[in-house]
């Protein structure tokens, strides 16, 4: 127990570089997605695919950097939790996209 408190106290000291790097990478991925939408001449389906790829990379980045997914037993990554989170993210994102496309098609009719 004392060892755990010592590790927690040590982790709170100094600059949280892991969080700063994660934040910077998240901002960079967001700006890349914005650039792809506004400045590229790619086809609409390619743009949507690229945005989905950036979104999943950013979700994985945030799970690893901010959501403490590396704090499993022996410092290992919690694979089951990551797979479950990826499944939920895929269902929510693809479901939302599907519902918006159906609504858009019905709106045009």
Q: Cα–Cα distance between 99 and 93 in angstroms, integer?
A: 10
- The yes-or-no verdict on residue 10 having pLDDT over 60 is no
- CA-based max dimension of the chain: 67
- The yes-or-no verdict on residue 106 having pLDDT over 80 is no
**N-term to C-term CA, the chain:** 65
Q: What is the pTM of this model?
A: 0.60
For CA atoms 59, 62, 67, 72, give the dihedral sign: positive
Structure confidence at residue 90 (pLDDT): 86
Taking only the tens place, the pLDDT of each residue in 26-75 is 999 999 999 999 998 889 889 989 998 998 898 888 877 877 766 666 66
Q: How confident is the model at residue 108 (pLDDT cuts 50, 70, 90)?
A: low
């Amino acid at each position: 127990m004392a060892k755990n408190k010592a590790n927690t106290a040590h982790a709170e000291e100094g600059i949280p570089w892991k969080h700063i790097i994660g934040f910077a990478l998240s901002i960079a991925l967001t700006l890349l997605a914005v650039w792809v939408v506004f400045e590229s001449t790619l086809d609409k389906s390619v743009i949507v695919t690229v945005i989905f790829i950036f979104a999943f990379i950013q979700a994985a980045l945030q799970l690893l950097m901010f959501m403490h997914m590396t704090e499993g037993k022996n410092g290992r990554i919690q694979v089951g939790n990551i797979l479950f989170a990826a499944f939920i993210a895929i269902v929510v994102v693809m479901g939302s996209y599907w519902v918006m496309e159906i609504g858009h098609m019905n709106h045009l009719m």
